[in-house]
Amino acid sequence: MSETHLSALIPLWALFGILAAALSSAQMLLQERLKAAPLPMAFWSKAACALVMIPFVVAVGLPHNPLYYMLLIAQSLLWVISDVIFYRGINEVGAGIIARILPLATLVGFFLWFAIDWPLANSYIAQPLHSAMIAIVMGLTAFFAWHLKSCPVTKKALRAVWFVLFASIVGSLSTKIITQYADIQQGISAYIFCEALIMLTMWLLYYAVRRPLPLQVMFGLSAIKSGFQVGAVAACGIAATVYAVYHIDNPAYVSAVRYLDAVMIFFFYRATGRPNQGHVWAGFGIVACAAALVILKAQH
């Protein structure tokens, strides 16, 4: 089946969003099993991302627009902090709870993008029925979010990863902006490779100044092995996400599909007989609302 026929059945942004969701769930479950220290895991997983992308960068080259790299540096400041908190949160409350919280970022980011792209906002305003349906979805989201936060376990998770939630909102918007300064041929591999190098540099500077962990913990074989396992999966997941972002006008749609990792993790837990803590029905309500935004996109 050709790419044209496939995209007629499933839009490319949705197809690669689903692939990103599968890889995201694998990444979180792997970290949950390894229980690696957050900073070494974040560091070595990014090192793996850089190594995986080297052949692609050599093949297609890097973008020349300096704004591309300036935006990458700014975004990297978010991920340097967020990645460490993300892995720590998985260690503390588990992958399932984290995956059910993060869809909140999709719903906020969806409307924030219109403040950046006014022509797109006007096209939505021109379709009042479409906008009304979105308002209904947002109302349902508020309902589910209220009940999700009433769960003590979920409140702990929110306290643990609130910055990850913030970074997910800002990061999804900034990723779309970054893609506008590089073509898709170079943009995907350059995004992963260059951002990884920037983040590795920042972490090394932080480690040199603060020395938060012993050398054998930060640079030991166990940390490297764990980080490379998670990083190899993460590199492919980020590539799928960025590819999808190139094919959609509002990046929140990609996030909505990608956060189906919560459903995948839930069924993995069920299949392996593991308990699901928190209000699962409320978490799935949030995921369902995020998915509804994808359906609405087909009507736009």
Percent of the chain whose predicted confidence (pLDDT) is above 70 = 92
Expressed in percent and rounded to 5, the helix, strand and coil fractions of the chain are 85, 0, 15
- pLDDT given for residue 20 in this prediction: 95
What pLDDT, in 10s, does the model give residues 29-54? 998 899 888 999 999 999 999 999 99
Neighbouring C-beta atoms of residue 57, cutoff 10 Å: 16
Higher-confidence position of 155 and 25: 25
pLDDT at 3 over 70: no
pLDDT at 240 over 70: yes
Are 264 and 230 within 8 A, CB to CB?
no
Tell me the DSSP string of 106-147.
Answer: HHHHHHHHHHH-HHHHHHHHT-HHHHHHHHHHHHHHHHHHHH
Higher-confidence position of 96 and 86: 86
Cβ-Cβ contacts under 8 Å for 254 (sequence gap 6 or more): 13, 16, 17, 20, 172, 241, 244, 245, 248
Flag whether the pTM goes above 0.85: yes
Are 21 and 99 within 8 A, CB to CB?
no
Average pLDDT, rounded, for the chain: 87
- pLDDT given for residue 134 in this prediction: 79
| Burial environment of residue 257 by CB neighbours within 10 A (0 to 12, 13 to 18, 19 or more) | buried
* 192-209 mean pLDDT: 95
Distance CA 18, CA 14 (A): 6
- pLDDT given for residue 53 in this prediction: 97
173-190 as b/e, with b when 16 or more CB fall inside 10 Å? Answer: bbbbbbbebbeeebbbbb
- pLDDT given for residue 278 in this prediction: 65
DSSP 182: S
pLDDT at 239 over 60: yes
What pLDDT, in 10s, does the model give residues 131-167? 788 778 877 876 786 776 566 667 777 788 889 889 9
Distance CA 257, CA 76 (A): 23
N-to-C CA span, the chain: 26
Band of pLDDT at residue 87, cut at 50, 70 and 90: confident
Higher-confidence position of 117 and 274: 117
Cβ-Cβ contacts under 8 Å for 36 (sequence gap 6 or more): 87, 222, 223, 226, 227, 230
Largest CA distance in the chain: 60
Are 24 and 263 within 8 A, CB to CB?
no
Dihedral in degrees, nearest 10, Cα atoms 155, 161, 165, 168: -160
DSSP 36: -
pLDDT at 6 over 90: no
Given phi > 0 = left and psi -120 to 50 = alpha, else beta, which region is 35?
left
pLDDT at 182 over 90: yes
